[in-house]
Structure 1
Amino acid sequence: MGLARLAALHGVATEFEPSEGVTVPVADATVVRVLAALGVDASTPQAVRAALDRADRAAAGLLLPPAVVAWGGPEGSAAVLPQALAELPDGTALRVATEQGARISWSAPDHSAGWAQLPLGVHRLTASVPGGRTLEVTLVVAPGRAPRPQGRSHGFLVQLYSLLSARSWGMGDLGDLAELATWSGRGLGVSFVQVNPLHAAVPGAPTDPSPYRPSSRRFPDPVHLRIEDIPEYAYAQGPVRQRLQELRDKGSQLRESVLDKGELIDRDAVWTLKREALELVHRVPLGPGRRAAYCDFLAEQGRALEDHATWCALAEVHGPEWHSWPAALRDPRSPETARARSGLMDRIDFHSRLAWLTDEQLAAAGRAAREAGMGVGIVHDLAVGVHPGGADTWAQGDAFAAGMSIGAPPDAFNARGQDWGLPPWRPDVLAASGYAPYRGLLRGILRHAGALRIDHVMGLFRLWWVPQGCPPTEGTYVRYDADAMLAVLALEAHRAGAAVVGEDLGTVEPGVREALEKRGVLGTSVLWFERDWTGSGRPLPPQEWREGCVATATTHDLPSTAARLTGGHVELRHRLGLLARPLEHERTEDSADVREWLDQLAALGLLPEGVDDEEGGIRAVYRFLLRTPACMVGIWLPDALGDRRPQNLPGTWDEYPNWRLPVADAAGRPVGLEELAASPRLHALLEVFPPRTAPPGARPDQPFATLAPWTRRTPCAPAPSRPVRR
């Protein structure tokens, strides 16, 4: 009982439910190791008793929790007094130092004098009770809800690296993203483009191509840069200019190897070329205005950027796994690290410059989306965690739980559970820091986002921790202060004017979706999973879908719609030896599932082409999604061409080319952005969606009826069926 009570005090679960009505106890050894990662010794009965005594004494003197949350309106002061403040003893003196620099004081129980003056923000609250006890905590004053998109909208979902153009160097880049946003916003009337995480990867040979296991979530990866769009590129002279042209030609060859020869995207080869090009461009002096802008960026980003660039520079010398560096360099604040930093200033400046250049091109892509009339814009993606040996864990080591990895517990779909190899944040350290690492992360990724998708959004509430060396079945849940996590999220989203989308697929504990909805966070609904699971089990009628979600036909981890309709995904898993049951059994079950959905589509009159028409079936799926009340509908861009291949096949490593496939047509032939833009199949699919009836840049207060006719149907010029690639 002592260990269970100690675990509960620190948010560590001692049992979990892999399925409804089934409870599984967590092994004591797991609980002990997880508590140790939280700085609590529970290794012996005596240690448990001592830890409980310390916890009880701390609780007895606790006036307030480490973070107090006040929910208010979107503007102005806090609207609701937190219960924690309402319960303070009479005469308690309260002082708030706001993040804006103001000082506000009042006394309990009369909170009206100071409470109404509090602005939105993350403040420091000091409470002094009669008798001398004083406590300082974080006070988060957040809007009641994150922003929501206006009206209904639809847009593209795409893995950026997979969409090459005639100007990219072997993989899609930020220039391609701006081009895609401009074309699809102006020409098709779509409201958003959602991309994969663009976080900085861990360098290496080979580099892990997964965008969901980055070195840093705080800074983007310069591999996404369009080299020719860097202003200094145009001013290179002599041998530097000549070498840049040679590198550009090699980049063209990489592009042609993917689009014309059908080879895989080779991120490492792309980065080798871009890195040399960036080294050359770095030699070109910045003009006075550019230098001033760069200095402003350095000042704005501060220590976070300095640490990131220092890690990048040290990784060039000692390798990308900082745990293997000389012991003194494993601490970013050690004197040895300071001396090393001083000796590597040129390299630190280089990596800082890359962060600035990437930030500029991210901003340009966001502007392109807005100027194209997109109501939402670019939807960026926040991975659930970071690589254990990367820049973030080095710079913020205390904030991560050593010896732990996050994953998923065993359930009806995966009896072995999952270990994602990503260290979790310590909830206690986050709270004690006023959620500074989390706030900095959100502010960075929201800088140029119209909306933010949060991978595994359930992690704001709890995460499955797996002790190092143990199978995922021997983990347990650790709880976070969801109220504080959501408050910081709503605050930063409000400041950025960005909507928030949570990936809430899989095991979701009761109450989580309701809490997210209350705070304005949209969910994710995938057609094939939307069934009446509490009743008949049949496909959920469109009118019964939730409004607060992004409705999609698939994701990067799931089969494309063409593969689902044809059963191609079953054949693929069979070829790779991934089926847990006989092939015929899987085929029969999958076919029945698809037939049920096709029958539903036909009954609703959404399948005029007939059940045997593959293209018609894809269009019918999206017609169905438009019948739902979902406020956003996501179009998986490869669906527009009939691509049958998933971008990622969970459960594989070398068996399948995860994260290395270009967008392709139904025959598996790679298709570049120019050809995609002229695709009759894509335009036929987009005919399913309502046209925009106002031109880009129209004033929101101008009635659409008074505007000149304009729709996406108006062609500008005939496009070639297959553009020439150079």
Structure 2
Amino acid sequence: MGLARLAALHGVATTYSPSAGVSVPVPDSTVIAVLAALGVDAATPDAVGASLAAAESAAEERLLPPTVVAWLPVTGPAPVAVPPGARVRVELEDGGLLEWRESVPRATAAESAGTSAERPAAAHGWAELPTGVHRLTVRTSGGRTGAAVLVAAPEAVDRPAERVHGFLVQLYSLLSGRSWGMGDLGDLAELASWAGRALGSGFVQVNPLHAAVPGAPTDPSPYRPSSRRFPDPVHLRIEDVPEYAYVAGRDRVRLDALLEKAAELRASVLEKGALIDRDAVWQLKLRALELVLRVPLGPGRWAAYCAFLAERGRALDDHATWCALAEVHGSDWHTWPAGLRDPRSPETARARGDLMDRVDFHCRLAWLTDEQLAAAATAAADAGMAVGIVHDLAVGVHPGGADAWSQQDAFAAGMSVGAPPDAFNARGQDWGLPPWRPDALAASGYAPYRGLLRGLLRHAGALRLDHVMGLFRLWWVPLGAEPTQGTYVRYDAEAMLAVLVLEAHRAGAVVIGEDLGTVEPGVREALSRRGVLGTSVLWFERDWAGSGRPLPPEDWREGCVATATTHDLPSTAARLTGEHVALRHRLGLLTRPLDRERTEDSAEVAEWRACLTRLGLLPEGTHDEEGEIRAVYRFLLSTPARMIGVWLPDAVGDRRPQNLPGTWDQYPNWRLPVADAAGRPMTLDDLAASPRLHALMEVFRTEQVPRTGTPGARPS
């Protein structure tokens, strides 16, 4: 009982439910290990007793929690209990000050009856709070003092004022005639400009553009980055760097030679069927950037660079220092000389000075990438896109990367994020990502999380959060243990949501949560209450509580991005033709006989064909692949979903998934260019001229697109 009580006080689960009505106990060894990662000793019964006493005593003595959330406008009860007569002081983030004394409320009939009566916040200073991250101090009449970070956020983030549609694309897969072997930020700007103007699209959603961990080879997955705080310069369009035009002499000869090699690399992908080779692309771009960055910055450019350095501050300095050290000592900081494993050590300070030129080089790369991200956002806005570029936030970072090195106090040592066993994966999952410590986040006023969001939202029209359920709880797996031996650790979801809503509000951005899979009760409702859109995928939307049949379009939720597929799922053409089953069979991934898999898959597709026919959405008739794909998107348009996402490969009949979960070297995950139905790679120019793509997008021009809600409306 003592261990369970101690675990509960720290948000650590001692049981979990893999399915309705089933409860599985968590091993004591796991609970003890997780508590240790939170700085709590539970190794022995005596240690449990001492830690429990300390935790309960601290909770009793604490006047305020480390972080307080106020949803604005505050019209009901105060956001935190303050003793009557206490002095309340709020130091506003803009330097202003609010002060008041909590008055003693008059006795009411409710109080006389022995029930509590909350005094409206409008009767005191809480009603005057502006949005922001403030400092709250409370001093009681008895002399006790408490302090906390106060996050004051709007009650919800705004959703798109009108229904919008747009493309979903993995940026690396979208090559043009100017790419250096993989899609880049120049291609993103071009796609946004074309889609907005020619097709009336309201957004383009891309994969995470976070900085990758360098290696040989580099992990191609965009969901296991070195840093989520800074983008990867591999996405730079070299020719768009202003200093590129002024490279001269021998450096120009060398740069022109690199351009020729880039053309060869591009041709190998587009014409010879080679896979996208991120490492080869980066080696060419790195050499080119080293030449380009020799060109001195003009006064205006220098001033802009200095402003960027000042704005990003220590976070950028840490990131660039890690990059410079990784070039010398390797990309896993755990293997570096002992003194360099601490970003604040004297040894690291000396190394930073010794490597000053390389640190500045990596700062420059971050600045240039930020500029091109801004240019893509501007291109989207100029093309009339209502939302613009939708950026993606991965759920975590690589344990050996820049963020894990520079923010060690915020991450739980010896732990990895994953997923518990369920009906689809009896062994559970271990994603190899260190989790944030909820206690460290709260103690810092969620500073690491705030900084992360602010950086990502700089040039985003919307932000998608991968595995958004992680704002509420994450499955922690002790290193060396099986995923089945993990447990859930709970986060302060109110604080996490308040920070998210505040930063999105400041940026004027929409927020999308990837809420697919197992979602605990109440999570989707809490997200919707704060304006966060969910994600609804056609094949998963069924009447699970009733008939099990496809969910009628009118019963879909409004607050979502409705899609036919995702980067982790088969394309619509593969789903309709059964190619995804054949692919998994070829790779030995099926867990049941092929005939059974084909039979069940064919039955599911037939059910959807019948549904589309019954609704009058398939005038082309069955066995017309392009017509069936158009019918799928007509169906999505008949739902009330606020945003409709078109998987770009669907527009040209691509059969191949970008990522096949459960595979590593058996399948070329994250390395495939967008291709046509025959598997021939297509450039952005090819896509723009594709009759098949235009026939699909004609659906969005000719079908009635109902508008939902009113401009600026908040969710009910």
Specify the alignment match of 1:605 in structure 2. 616
Structure 2 residue 119 is the aligned partner of structure 1 residue 108:
no
Alpha-carbon distance between aligned partners in 2 of 1:670 and 1:388, rounded to the nearest angstrom: 35
Instruction: Single out whichever of 605-614 and 631-640 deviates more from structure 2.
Output: 605-614
Aligned residue number for residue 109 of structure 2: none
- 1:57 aligned partner: 57
What is the distance in 1 between the residues matched to 2:157 and 2:703? 25
TM-superposed deviation, 1:113: 4.7
Contact 1:92 / 1:130 at 8 angstroms: preserved in 2?
yes
* 2:338 partner letter: A
How far apart are the structure 1 equivalents of 2:550 and 2:84? 57
Q: Distance in 2 between matches of 1:291 and 1:83?
A: 46
Give the match for residue 496 of structure 1.
Answer: 507
Structure 2 residue identity aligned to 1:684: A
CA contact under 8 A between 2:164 and 2:642: conserved in structure 1?
Answer: yes
Partner amino acid for 1:17?
Answer: S
Name the CA shift for 1:82/1:92 in 2 (closer, same or farther; >3 Å).
same
Matches within 5 A, 1:142-541: 142-541=153-552
Contact 1:88–1:109 at 8 Å: present in 2 too?
no
Residues 21-76 of structure 1, C-alpha deviations (whole Å, 9 max, x = no match):
11111111110000000000001100000001001110111212221111015xxx
- The whole-number CA distance in structure 2 between the counterparts of 1:532 and 1:413 is 19
Q: Secondary structure at the match of 1:419?
A: strand
Out of 561, 567, 572, which is 1:561 matched to? 572
Deviations 1:565-591 (CA, angstroms, capped at 9, x unpaired)? 000000000000000001001001111
What is the CA–CA distance in structure 2 between the aligned matches of 1:204 and 1:81, rounded to whole Å?
53
Q: State yes or no: 1:21 paired with 2:21.
A: yes
2:55 is the counterpart of 1:82: no
Contact 1:181-1:193 at 8 Å conserved across structures: yes
TM-score (norm 2): 0.95
SS in 2 for 1:381: strand
Contact preservation (8 Å) 1:89, 1:109? no
Structure 2 Cα separation of the partners of residues 21 and 608 of structure 1: 44
Aligned-residue offset at 1:130? 2.2
SS across alignment from 1:446? helix
**1:120–1:142: 8 Å Cα contact kept in structure 2?**
yes
The answer on 1:587 being equivalent to 2:581 is no
Deviation (angstroms), 1:691: 6.6
1:71 and 1:79 in contact (8 A); partners too: no
Query: 1:635-654 alignment to 2 at 5 Å?
Result: 635-654=646-665
Distance 1:343 1:131 in 2: 55
Q: Secondary structure at the match of 1:379?
A: strand
Is the CA contact (8 Å cut-off) linking 2:634 and 2:703 kept in structure 1?
Answer: no
Shift of 1:94: 1.2
Say if 1:68 and 1:82, in contact at 8 Å, map to a contact too. no
* Counterpart position of 2:638: 627
Residue type of the partner of 1:41? D
The offset of 1:613, in angstroms, is: 0.7
Deviations 1:297-338 (A, max 9, x none): 000000000000000011111110000001111111111111
Equivalent residue letter for 1:276:
R
Match of 1:133 in 2: 144
**Which runs of 5 or more structure 2 residues have no equivalent in the other structure?**
105-120, 705-710
Structure 1 residue 115: deviation in Å?
2.2
1:82-111 deviation per Cα after TM superposition (whole angstroms, max 9, x unaligned):
342xx3211211111111111221111376
Query: What is the CA–CA distance in structure 1 between the aligned matches of 2:196 and 2:292, rounded to whole Å?
Result: 32
Residue identity opposite 2:685 in structure 1: E
Q: What letter is aligned with 1:308? A: H
Shift of 1:690: 2.6
Of 85, 91, 97, the residue aligned with 2:91 is 97
Residue in structure 1 matched with residue 36 of structure 2 by the alignment? 36
Counterpart position of 1:578: 589
Tell me the distance in 2 between the aligned counterparts of 1:79 and 1:644.
54
Q: Distance in 2 between matches of 1:113 and 1:582?
A: 68
User: Whole-Å Cα distance in 2 between the matches of residues 573 and 254 of structure 1?
Assistant: 30
Q: CA RMSD in A?
A: 1.3
The 8 Å contact of residues 71 and 80 in structure 1, kept in 2 or not, is answered as: no
Alpha-carbon separation, structure 1, partners of 2:602 and 2:703: 37
Separation (CA, whole Å) in 2 of partners of 1:348 and 1:669: 41
Cα separation, 2, equivalents of 1:150 and 1:62: 43
Q: Report which stretch shifted further, 103-112 or 618-627.
A: 103-112
1:70 and 1:79 in contact (8 A); partners too: no
Give the AA of the match of 2:552: P
Q: How many residues align?
A: 689
3-state secondary structure, aligned to 2:701 = coil
* Correspondences of 1:704-715 after superposition (within 5 Å): none
Deviation track 1:391-422 (CA, whole Å, cap 9, x = no partner) reads 00100001000000001100011111100000
C-alpha separation in 2, matches of 1:627 and 1:338 = 59
Matched-pair identity in %: 76
2:338, 2:240 → 1: CA distance? 41
Do 1:377 and 1:451's aligned partners in 2 also have CA atoms closer than 8 Å? yes
Partner residue, 1:11: 11
Equivalent residue of 1:380, what SS? strand
Distance 2:152 2:239 in 1: 44
Correspondence 1:617 to 2:638: no
1:612-649 CA-to-partner distances (Å, cap 9, x unmatched) read 11111100000000000000000000000000000000
- After TM superposition, the structure 1 stretch with the greater mean CA deviation from structure 2, 209-218 or 605-614, is 605-614
What letter matches 1:411 in structure 2? D
Q: Are the counterparts in 1 of residues 324 and 355 from structure 2 also a CA contact under 8 Å?
A: yes
Alpha-carbon distance between aligned partners in 2 of 1:412 and 1:41, rounded to the nearest angstrom: 34
1:678 aligns with 2:689: yes
**In the superposition, relative to structure 1, how do residues 511 and 398 fare at CA in structure 2: closer, same or farther (>3 Å)?**
same
Partner amino acid for 1:25? P
Does the CA-based 8 Å contact 2:69-2:79 persist in structure 1?
A: no
Task: Give the 3-state SS of the residue equivalent to 1:298 in structure 2.
Answer: helix
1:460-489 alpha-carbon deviations (Å, 9 max, x no partner) = 000000000011100000000000000000
What displacement does 1:132 show?
A: 2.1
SS in 2 for 1:186: helix
Partner residue in 2 for 1:721: none
Q: Report the equivalent of 1:723.
A: none
Shift of 1:80: 4.5
Q: Do the aligned partners of 1:12 and 1:31 also contact (CA within 8 Å) in 2?
A: yes
Matched residue SS, 2:459: coil
- State the distance in 1 between where 2:136 and 2:31 align: 33
Deviations 1:176-196 (A, max 9, x none): 000000011001110000000
AA aligned to 1:14 is T
Equivalent residue letter for 2:137: T
User: 2: distance between equivalents of 1:303 and 1:692?
Assistant: 51
